[in-house]
Structure 1
Amino acid sequence: MKLSNIIGHGEIIRALCRAVEQNRVSHAYLFAGPEGVGKTTTALAFGAALLCRQPDFGDACGQCRDCRQAAGQNHPDLHRIAPQGASIKIGQIREMLRRITLSPYQGQRQIFLVEQADLMTQEAANCLLKTLEEPPAGTVLILISDRPQALLPTILSRCQIFTFHPLPPEQVAGILKRETDVSREELELLARLIGGCPGRVVRLAGMNGGYFGFRQKVVDLATGLGRASVAEAFRLAAMVAEDKELALAYLELFLLWYRDLLVWRETGAPGLLFNQDHLSLIDREARLYSRTRLLDIIKEIEGTRDSLLANVNTRLALEMLFMRLAGAA
């Protein structure tokens, strides 16, 4: 729970530490960037630094009562607001505003993290905007979003924005080595597969079979869909749609798989592939598709992913996608 322990995002970390050290903290921040890149981890560490009684060069000391409570996620002045169901509702924002009017329990600040802020309803966003216009002293709001373009422009204009970019493979490998128990041989492949967003692997690492087991399910599903009937496609869509976050993970790996088929078909260069350990299968599957069809499939998957992020019905969106992919080969 310290900014100095975060791998990567050096310029952002330095700017946040400098703001704490110089006591020039904004009332509202937006941490924007792809899912799994480290936004929430950084927000929690920043919150700990803001609450720390004796910050060390703008970072949390890690030893005081406030730091221990922040690390244990039980600090009474560090609040997290996340979607309830499909959205962040106006009742949640009203409850947050009620808390803002109260004095901090322990220190001089209250920190509010609004996760997946782009999923606020219109009413909730408008309610939050009133607070951003006249923020109470000692309140710091940190909005976290994978899709900042979905937020109201008036909200964006009132936040200090930090954009998180995918990490280079060597930094991803460092995080995975620290956070998971994957073998040394798997690190390089994982660092290439996850597109600079290690949080995706960390979340899937605890699943039965781990990340590679999950990827194999995705590969089996992709190859099977190309030969499936429409009825089978609907059955598979219902299975994947049971967990929206897992469905998004399926779609991200779908994109890498069909991208590899396209790249191999057009270049025949193994070094350009993400799934290099599946070269023989990629070679066989790529022969079944035309260039145009692969481009269409990639666009359809991207559209479905964007629809899920925009909070459409998960099962309906996957049914439409899987029906288009059924028998595609």
Structure 2
Amino acid sequence: MQFKEIVGQAAVKQRLIASVNENRVSHAQLFLGPEGSGNLPLAIAYAQYVSCEDRQPGDSCGECASCRKYQKLAHPDLHFSYPFFAKHKDDNALTFIEQWREALLANPYISLDVWRGYLDAENKQANINIAECHQIIKKLSLKPFESAYKVLILWLPEYLDKEGNALLKIIEEPQPNTLFLLVAQNQDQILNTILSRTQLVKIPALEYNDIKEYLTDHGQTQHAAEEIAYLSNGNMTEALSMVNQEGNNYHQLFIKWLRMCFGNKGSEVISFTDQLAKLGRENQKNFLRYGISFVRECCLLLAGAGNLVHLPAAELDTAQKMIGVMNMAQAEAISAELEKAHYHVERNANPKILFLDVSLQIVKILYFKTFPQGAQYIPI
């Protein structure tokens, strides 16, 4: 993978390239960024750049023997470690390497949920076991086969338990020309003993415009790209997931729902909840996620922070009309109800009952101007 194939992150790319060209390659680095930020493809592109036989000023050449093998994830000096669902105590990452290559080549912005779909997970918990730690030590104890560097990319070190301490010596005193790249999402879940031995590379969430531009360049309409980029909240994994789902205009659906609830149109609300129940779980989650984001933007407008609002023009116009009939307390209460509904959809709640209940709560908030029992909001 080349840097030019990765969405956004121009500043991070420049820093990584400069570290190689200035001979400042740290042997153990932690690529820390939220899901969908591109930290895994950045680590792969960085490893390819380090190993490239004809490095260009701003990227690997993409044509040398090393780059061609990296593009297929089949270079003999490139190794991966990742969480998996072990069936036997001796299982390690190599047991699942074919599935891993298939998943990663299909989507470099892979998430654990996507990875789970390639494996027979059953009810097992993903982890990186002691057998895999021993395999990592074995791999990194050997000299590079072809390239100047032997590279191991460890995806999601958060799933290393205490067994991860077995790696401390190889991380601290590796063989010459060994590059150990950890790709993580949550710093607090990584063993402190490992954190202290790595150089941190912070990777921010993607910019709205970067995701929108990528989507329009790959066949999405301007409106669809704007909506998906807004909904994904800087997460390219979520954006790609939404592209693969049945298209829905979440804005129109959500505003229609709020208007029904505001007018207390009982029979229409019931019919509409039936419609929402048929969307499918992923579309229901995206619909609720859109609602949460839209109400959050309304809260910013109500707070006088319109300069922080990132809504397309048509949706911004609707939001400005909404704040004329909704105050901050109501907006916060609706947002809380939507967040609870999203939580329950993820856990396979009955959608028909769930959306009817949420609709009734929103009717209480907007029409009757009362709040759900136990809610801590400023009274109207």
- Common fold by TM > 0.5: yes
CA 1:256–1:59: 2 relative to 1, 3 Å: same
Q: What are the ranges of 5 or more consecutive residues in structure 2 without an aligned counterpart?
A: 85-115, 117-124, 363-380
Query: Which residue of the other structure, out of 243, 246, 249, is the alignment partner of 1:208?
Result: 246
CA 1:271–1:140: 2 relative to 1, 3 Å: closer
Q: Is the 8 A contact 1:50 1:109 kept in 2?
A: yes
Rounded to whole Å, the distance in 2 between the matches of 1:94 and 1:294 is 53
Equivalent in the alignment of 2:168:
129
Equivalent in the alignment of 2:188:
149
Worse overlay, 156-165 or 183-192: 183-192
Equivalent in the alignment of 2:221:
183
Q: What are the ranges of 5 or more consecutive residues in structure 1 without an aligned counterpart?
A: 309-313
Task: State whether structure 2 residue 72 is matched by structure 1 residue 40.
Answer: no
Give the drift of 1:126. 2.5
Give the drift of 1:45. 0.8
Q: Is the 8 A contact 1:52 1:66 kept in 2?
A: yes
Query: Which residue of the other structure, out of 293, 302, 327, is the alignment partner of 1:256?
Result: 293
CA 1:184–1:165: 2 relative to 1, 3 Å: same
Rounded to whole Å, the distance in 2 between the matches of 1:249 and 1:103 is 48
Code of the residue aligned with 2:47 in structure 1: it is: G
SS where residue 171 of structure 1 aligns? helix
Rounded to whole Å, the distance in 2 between the matches of 1:303 and 1:157 is 37
Give the drift of 1:268. 11
Give the drift of 1:106. 2.5
Query: Which residue of the other structure, out of 225, 233, 236, is the alignment partner of 1:195?
Result: 233
Q: Is the 8 A contact 2:140 2:170 kept in 1?
A: no
Code of the residue aligned with 2:168 in structure 1: it is: L
Equivalent in the alignment of 1:12:
12
Equivalent in the alignment of 2:347:
315
CA 1:285–1:317: 2 relative to 1, 3 Å: farther
Report how many residues are paired: 309
Q: Identical aligned pairs, as a percentage?
A: 22
Q: Is the 8 A contact 2:80 2:155 kept in 1?
A: yes
Q: Summarize deviations over 1:279-302 as a string: whole Å, max 9, x none.
A: 798689889987446436656877
* Structure with greater Cα Rg: 2
Code of the residue aligned with 2:167 in structure 1: it is: L
Rounded to whole Å, the distance in 1 between the matches of 2:30 and 2:133 is 16
Q: Is the 8 A contact 1:116 1:144 kept in 2?
A: yes
TM-score, structure 1 as length reference: 0.70
Q: Is the 8 A contact 1:7 1:174 kept in 2?
A: no
1:1-329 matched pairs, under 5 angstroms? 1-57=1-57, 59-84=59-84, 86-90=125-129, 91-118=131-158, 120-178=159-217, 180-209=218-247, 213=248, 215=250, 219=254, 240=281, 252-253=289-290, 255-260=292-297, 262-263=299-300, 272=309, 274=311, 277=314, 291-292=328-329, 294-295=331-332, 298=335, 315=347, 327-329=360-362
Q: Summarize deviations over 1:122-145 as a string: whole Å, max 9, x none.
A: 224323334322222222122222
Equivalent in the alignment of 1:311:
none
